[in-house]
């Protein structure tokens, strides 16, 4: 263990290319040592364009020893609760680095009056699981990370992709509520609406899927450093059990391959057996399990 000699903290709203490189290097050191997964969304964050002058909110929490980044916690929000994930350099652990950074996260959450947050940890990370347990956060759900390993079959004809525009924001938010809150009908709140044209600038492109000019579902695609990712894939309830989910997935794979993706991955809720079976049948294999724990706003406000 290396003793911290020149500790200092950097807080930012968004990361820049220099931050990206330092965090990426720290992530590589942690992955090599721990053999567990992290979800810090660096490529997505680097794609955030048009940052406002002055800090509106703090999303990036970094601890340094001199010039070396030794600890990091990042906040992501995709229209729902904050997702909080981080890491500490293996050579600098057990010196309170993560605890200090997390105290700053709680202070920011209190300042922003957030409605709770999701704390993330790989299921195989003993230190991550123990830290979260000590916060009092309760288990919420798990996601499997899956990579395409096998060959895919040709998709059925008849479906078409259409790149979403800002005019589709309400429809996208409505579908997200249906898919992820398990509700057929739900009120779409303005704070749940994400502008797809802004998301595309960050590297996340949303496609609406149509059958005979009728919207039947959607999918988000991301390509970073030759890694293609599939997120938010769903088919509306009235169009299910017709093979459209498989066709949509295969179309997404094909589009990422056309963009020269070297690897293709996706994430799926562990309890979503239908989707899990679909992905496996199309050549995806599980590589890690990420557990999500919800820390209630009451606990945050007491911190």
pLDDT digits (tens, 9 = 90+) for 98-154: 999 999 999 999 998 888 999 999 999 999 999 999 999 999 999 999 999 977 666
pLDDT band at 302 (very low <50, low <70, confident <90, very high): low
User: Mean pLDDT score of the chain, rounded to an integer?
Assistant: 89
Answer yes or no: is pLDDT of 170 > 50.
Answer: yes
Residue 30's contacts (CB-CB under 8 Å, 6 or more residues apart) are 38, 87, 88, 89, 90
Report the percent of the chain where pLDDT is more than 70.
89
Q: Is the predicted pLDDT of residue 300 greater than 50, yes or no?
A: yes
Q: What is the pLDDT of residue 192?
A: 60
**DSSP run (H or E) holding 106:** helix 97-112
* pLDDT greater at residue 42 or residue 95: 95
Give the least confident one: 43-47, 112-116, 214-218, 250-254: 43-47
187-201 residue pLDDT tens: 666 666 788 998 888
Please determine, for residue 169, whether its predicted confidence score (pLDDT) is greater than 90.
Answer: yes
How many residues are there in the chain? 303
55-64, 176-185, 237-246 — which is least confidently predicted?
Answer: 176-185
The confidence score (pLDDT) of residue 99 equals 97
- pLDDT value, residue 155: 60
Domains of the chain, first to last: 7-143+291-302 (3.40.630.30), 151-282 (3.40.630.30)
Residues 88-102 have a mean pLDDT of 97
pTM, rounded to two decimals: 0.84
For residues 285 and 202, which has the higher predicted lDDT (pLDDT)?
285
d(CA 124, CA 282): 26
pLDDT band at 226 (very low <50, low <70, confident <90, very high): confident
Q: How many CB atoms lie within 10 A of CB 226?
A: 10
Sign, CA torsion 293/205/183/244: negative
C-beta neighbour count of 37 within 10 angstroms: 18
pLDDT of residue 180: 75
Residue 183 confidence (pLDDT): 47
Candidate ranges 46-55, 176-185, 288-297; pick with highest mean pLDDT: 288-297
What's the pLDDT at 51? 46
Does residue 252 contact residue 219 with C-beta atoms inside 8 Å? yes
Binned at pLDDT 50, 70 and 90, residue 22 comes out as very high
First to last CA, the chain: 30
């Amino acid at each position: 263990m290396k003793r911290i000699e020149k500790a200092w903290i950097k807080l930012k709203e968004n990361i820049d290319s220099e931050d990206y490189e330092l965090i990426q290097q720290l992530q590589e050191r942690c992955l090599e040592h721990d053999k567990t997964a992290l979800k810090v969304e660096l490529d997505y964050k680097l794609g955030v364009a048009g940052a406002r002058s002055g800090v509106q909110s703090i999303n990036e929490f970094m601890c340094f020893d001199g010039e070396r980044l030794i600890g990091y916690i990042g906040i992501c929000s995709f229209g729902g609760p904050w997702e909080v994930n981080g890491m500490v350099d293996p050579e600098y652990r057990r010196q309170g680095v993560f605890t200090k950074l997390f105290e700053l996260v709680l202070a920011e959450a209190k300042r922003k009056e957030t409605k709770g947050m999701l704390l993330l940890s790989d299921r195989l990370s003993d230190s991550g699981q123990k830290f979260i347990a000590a916060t009092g956060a309760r288990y919420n759900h798990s996601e499997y990370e899956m990579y395409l390993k096998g060959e895919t079959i040709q998709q059925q004809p008849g479906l078409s992709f259409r790149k979403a525009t800002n005019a589709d924001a309400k429809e996208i938010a409505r579908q997200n509520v249906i898919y992820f809150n398990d509700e057929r009908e739900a009120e779409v709140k303005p704070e749940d609406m994400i502008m797809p044209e802004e998301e595309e600038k960050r590297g996340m492109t949303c496609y609406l899927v149509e059958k005979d000019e009728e919207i039947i579902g959607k999918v988000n695609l991301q390509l970073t450093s030759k890694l293609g990712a599939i997120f938010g894939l769903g088919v509306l309830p009235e169009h299910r059990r017709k093979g459209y989910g498989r066709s949509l997935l295969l179309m997404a794979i094909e589009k990422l391959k056309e963009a020269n993706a070297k690897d293709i991955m996706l994430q799926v809720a562990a309890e979503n057996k239908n989707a899990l079976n679909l992905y496996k049948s199309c050549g995806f294999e599980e590589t890690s399990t990420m557990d999500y724990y919800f820390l209630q706003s009451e606990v945050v406000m007491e911190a």
